[in-house]
Amino acid sequence: MQAFIETTLRSAFPGATLRVTDTTGGGDHFEVEIAAPQFAGQTMIQQHRLVYEALGDRVGVEIHALALKTRVLAS
């Protein structure tokens, strides 16, 4: 699941810096730190929504917990 998250977010946010951590070792609780130029002009809530939209239906099913830290990456 960690590889899915990394691949999906790198595809959805080209040029982003990304760190995905499995917080429990069980493959279903993750912390994602992402800085992306696509977040410019977006509130934190909007940034988080973009990440959730990119990950789709797996959040809440295969991904039981997802802690997000987002910020704008200056281009």
Residues 1-39+60-75, CATH architecture? 2-Layer Sandwich (3.30)
What radius of gyration do the chain's Cα atoms show?
12
Residue 75's pLDDT is what?
Answer: 65
Instruction: Label residue 74 by pLDDT band (50, 70, 90).
Output: confident
Burial 15-26 (b: 16+ CB within 10 A, else e): ebeeebeeeeee
Question: Could you report the per-residue pLDDT of 21-56, keeping only the tens digit for each?
Answer: 999 999 999 999 999 999 999 999 999 999 999 999
**Where exactly are the structural domains of the chain?**
1-39+60-75
